[in-house]
Amino acid sequence: MSTIVFWHGWGMGPQVWNDLVERLRTPLAPHYELIVQPLPGYTPAQEPVVHYSVTQLLDDLMAGLSPPVILCGWSLGAILAMLAASRYPEHIKKLVLIGATPNFIRRTDWANGIAINMIDKMGAGIRVDPAATLKRFVTIFNQNDVNAREITRKLAEVTSAPVPSLESGLDLLKHTDLRSIVPGIRQPTLLIHGAHDTLMPVSAAEWLNRHIHKSQLLVFPDASHAPFLSDTEQCAQVIMDFLDVRA
């Protein structure tokens, strides 16, 4: 039996997957084991992460997982999923990437990211008032989502991580550029993206779709950065279609 592993994004704990996993669990149970895996430093049982070594982080995440694995990652979790697919090609069977980008930061040769001073401001805000900074972050990535108010309500109930883990995650986002490794990803890949995503614009997902050999891109026209929260039912359906599972 294959395992589907869910990796969440920066600032949002593993509970962010509750609605989607609940919807998927019954139809997928005969075929897959579903595991929601917190990123290091995101649960009370874990020590805060002072510095993320990407290779060590991936080694730690993959250590307890038995192949074959399907990785479903959102935002930072999607970045890590692509890295894992490259580092562990024999373990990773398929990828589901939600709100994904190969490069979070805008650079001279990459216009599909955010300005570096925005991430620096987020880092400064996290050190002063993490709760207020995360609230602003949710407001930013929910802009123009048809269900923004409901998503904000749901995310208010999701626990985050200690400040050192949040700072380390921002540092990882700031310095990770996957453009050179993406063309080497050979796993079948489903890209799910919100049309109104301001953090990771659709153009970033379109770039991934052009450069991942076996990929397909589905854009949710009314969603922003969290389409699996904006339209959980439709997101579950496209994942089941990708896995060729009937509800």
Taking only Cα atoms into account, the Rg of the chain, rounded to an integer number of angstroms, comes to 17
Non-local CB neighbours of 176 within 8 Å, separated by 6+ positions: 54, 79, 83, 103, 104
Q: Contact, 101 vs 205, CB < 8 A?
A: yes
Helix, strand, coil percentages, rounded to 5, for the chain: 45, 15, 35
Burial class (CB in 10 A: 0-12, 13-18, 19+), 153: exposed
Beta bridge partners of 146: none
Q: Contact, 182 vs 208, CB < 8 A?
A: yes
Packing angle between helix 130-141 and helix 116-128, nearest 10 degrees?
A: 140
Q: Which residues are catalytic?
A: 75, 197, 225
Distance (Å, whole) CA 213 – CA 183: 7
Distance (Å, whole) CA 197 – CA 169: 20
